[in-house]
Amino acid sequence: MSEGEASDVKQVEIDKDFLIKYRVHYGRNIKTKFSEKFIHGIHPKGFYLIDVTKTIERLKAAVKLLSRYEPETVLLHSARDFAFKGLEEVGKLTGFKVKVGRFLPGTLTNYVLEHNVDAQILFVVDHTYDSQAVDEAVKMKLPIISFVDTNSNGEYVDLAIPANNKGKYSIAVLLWSLAVLYLREKGLLKEDEVIDKSVEDFVVSPEHATVV
């Protein structure tokens, strides 16, 4: 990253305009009773618009919850290709465990398996798409945090963060913001500081999209 790029990164504010720039507010053309409280309007093209002030509120609540756990007991997961790079970057910055791609059966529930993970809380990008991980977390009685879109029913989610959890730029900015807010909460960044990596560094690249 050049000096100029680093300067730009340092000026970033995690606010409504910042999230809207990356279309975090773009929902689906379906809404559920669960998601109604997170919706503030409808786009002329017919899809619902998410209130990103609530996204920010829930992101901050999520980092407060995550900060109560030892980093190595937090598991981040998504089977969605667009999340792979961002999750790996969050893991490097925070010390959280990360599982991307297919969630192998028994990862949380069978301690004798080589791929078993001892976790106390699960964070997924999409609780519906990442249902195998969610099902196992439910069996183990682990708290579950998830981004939720307007077509979500919020099933099994303890802390829902309303957001576009399908677009690659939206996912990247959400995970970038999660990392920054968490590091601030832990006192590793000042309140006006951000990480040296840009949102674009969290965007999935072709080689990450091939992970299975």
- Tell me the residue type at 79: A
4-24 pLDDT, tens digit each: 444 444 567 899 999 999 999
The domain that holds 150 is classified in CATH as: 3.40.50.10490
- Please give the Cα distance from 62 to 7 (Å, whole number): 28
What single letter denotes the amino acid at residue 51? D
What is the per-residue pLDDT across 143-183, written as a single tens digit (0 to 9) for each? 999 999 999 999 999 999 999 999 999 999 999 999 999 99
- The residue segments making up the domain with residue 168 are 3-210
pTM: 0.90
> pLDDT (tens digit, 9 = 90+) per residue, 33-59?
999 999 999 999 999 999 999 999 999
Give the pairing of strands 74-78 and 97-100.
parallel
Both tokens assigned to 140: 């183990």
Q: Specify the number of domains making up the chain.
A: 1
- Residue 16 to residue 14: CA distance in whole angstroms: 7
